[in-house]
Structure 1
Amino acid sequence: MNGITWMIIACEIGFWIAIVAGLVTRYLFKKEKVGLFLLAMTPVIDLILLLLTGLDLYRGAEATTAHGVAAIYIGSSIAFGKSMIEWADHRFQYYILKQGAKPPKRYSYEYARHYAKGWLRHILAFVIGTGLLAATIFVIDDAERTAALTGIIKVWALALGIDTLVAISYFIWPRPEKT
C-alpha cells in the first residue's frame, strides 16, 4: 500500500476517534464545549486528507484508486457526516448512558422515506466527490496519469444507479414489519 492509502485509513480512523472522543467527553466527562470541539474536528480531518492527496498529485504522482477513494471519502464525509454523528450520538446515549429513547426500527413507507433521505445524501456525496475528481483530472490534464480517477467516477456512477433502483424498490415493495 502506498502513502495515500495509509493516509485514507488514518483519516477514517481519526474520523471515528474524533466522534467517540467527542461523545465520551461530552457525556461522560460533562465537558460539552470540549466534546463539541472534538466533534467539529471531523471536517478538519477531511481537509487534511484533501490537502495531502492534492499535494501528492501536484508532486507528480500518478493518480491511483487510492486518490479516487480519497475523493469518495471526502464527499461522503461531507454529505453523511452530520447524520453519522447524530446516529452515533443517539446510540451512545441509549446503549452506553442508558438514556433517551431506543433507536427506532423503521418499516414500510417510513423506511422508504428514511432510505430516500440517505439516497439524497448519496447524490450530494457523488456531486462533491466527482467534482473533486473532475477538478483533479482537469488540473492534471494528462489522461494517462488520471485514468484511475475516471474509472472511479464510472464505478461510483454505477453504484449510485444501483442505489437509485434500491431506493425506488422500497416504495414499490415496502419493507414489511417483522412479527
Structure 2
Amino acid sequence: MVVTLIIVCEVAFWVLLAAGLVLRYPARKPRLGAAVLLCEPLLEVVLLAVTAIDLRNGAEGDWKHGLAAVYIGFTVAYGHYMVKWADGHFAHRFAGGPPPVRPPKYGMARAVHEWKMCARSVLGAVIALALLQGAVWYVGDAGRSESLTQWQHKMLFVIGISVVIAASYTLWPKKPKTPSGEPRDPAGARPAGREAAGRETAGH
C-alpha cells in the first residue's frame, strides 16, 4: 500500500502542478491556480500519515517505509524548485514572460549552481534522515527497523556524493571549448600548445 501511495503522490504532484499552471496562465485564473498549487504539500502530509499508521498497526519498518521517508524529504527539498521551473516555462509560453534562465555551464557560475543543487540534495537527505530516525524510534525494535537504518546509510552516501560533485566544479571549473575541441582559456588566449605549434610553423 505504501509503494502504491508513493506512486499516486508522484502522479498527483505533476497533475496538480499542470492544473495549477494551466489555471494560472491559459485560463487566466491566478487565484484558483495558486490555490491548486498550495495543495501540493498535502500529498506529503497524507503519505507521512499513512506510513505512520502502517507502522503503528505493527508493520515491520522495511524498505517501503524507508522509500516513503526519502520521497518526502526530496519532494520537500526540490518541490519549490520544480514548481518555479515549470512556472517560468508556462509564463514564457502563455503570458509573454521572459525566457527561462538556463543554468550556467562554465566557470565559477556553474560551481555556484552545483553548490545550490548540492544544498537541496543535502536538505532532502537530512529531512529523510530525520524521518527515518523518527520511524526507528516509533517502531522501538531494532530487529524490525534494520531496513530503515540501511536507508539512513544510503542518505549519508547521497550527502557525500553531492558534496564531492559540487566540490569538483569548484576545484576544476568547467571551461568552454574552442571549435577545435580544446578548452578555451578564461582570458580568451589560445592554449600554450597551439601557440608553440604556431610559432614552429611560422619559423619554417
Relative to the length of structure 2, the TM-score reads: 0.81
Task: Indicate conservation of the 8 Å contact 2:61/2:139, yes or no.
Answer: no
Q: For the residues of structure 2 that align with 1:138 and 1:11, how far apart are their CA atoms? A: 25
Task: After TM superposition, list the pairs within 5 Å mapping 1:59-98 onto structure 2.
Answer: 59-95=57-93
Among candidates 26, 30, 33, match of residue 31 of structure 2: 33
Paired residue secondary structure (1:28): coil
Aligned equivalent of 1:141: 140
Q: Of the two, which has the highest radius of gyration?
A: 2
Return the letter of the residue paired with 1:18: L
Task: Indicate conservation of the 8 Å contact 2:61/2:135, yes or no.
Answer: no
Stretch moving more, 85-94 or 140-149: 85-94
Aligned equivalent of 2:175: 176
User: Quick one: percent identity of the two aligned structures?
Assistant: 34
Alignment root-mean-square deviation, CA: 1.6
Change over 3 Å in CA distance of 1:152–1:74 after alignment to 2? same
Q: For the residues of structure 1 that align with 2:177 and 2:28, how far apart are their CA atoms? A: 38
Q: For the residues of structure 2 that align with 1:75 and 1:93, how far apart are their CA atoms? A: 28
Relative to the length of structure 1, the TM-score reads: 0.92
1:36-65: CA deviations, max 9, x gaps? 011111111110000011111111111121
Return the letter of the residue paired with 1:81: G
Q: For the residues of structure 2 that align with 1:13 and 1:156, how far apart are their CA atoms? A: 24
Aligned equivalent of 2:21: 23
Q: For the residues of structure 2 that align with 1:169 and 1:96, how far apart are their CA atoms? A: 38
Q: For the residues of structure 2 that align with 1:81 and 1:162, how far apart are their CA atoms? A: 21
Stretch moving more, 92-101 or 104-113: 92-101
Q: For the residues of structure 1 that align with 2:103 and 2:45, how far apart are their CA atoms? A: 34
Return the letter of the residue paired with 1:104: R
Task: Indicate conservation of the 8 Å contact 1:5/1:66, yes or no.
Answer: yes
Paired residue secondary structure (2:38): helix
C-alpha displacement of 1:92? 2.5
Aligned equivalent of 1:53: 51
C-alpha displacement of 1:30? 0.6
Q: For the residues of structure 1 that align with 2:7 and 2:94, how far apart are their CA atoms? A: 26
Structure 1 residue ranges without an equivalent (≥5): none
Q: For the residues of structure 2 that align with 1:174 and 1:70, how far apart are their CA atoms? A: 36
C-alpha displacement of 1:176? 2.7
Paired residue secondary structure (1:144): helix
Structure 2 residue ranges without an equivalent (≥5): 179-204
Structure 1 or 2: more helix by fraction: 1
C-alpha displacement of 1:178? 5.8
Stretch moving more, 122-131 or 96-105: 96-105
Q: For the residues of structure 2 that align with 1:98 and 1:151, how far apart are their CA atoms? A: 48
Q: For the residues of structure 2 that align with 1:20 and 1:52, how far apart are their CA atoms? A: 25
Q: For the residues of structure 1 that align with 2:98 and 2:92, how far apart are their CA atoms? A: 6
Return the letter of the residue paired with 2:82: M
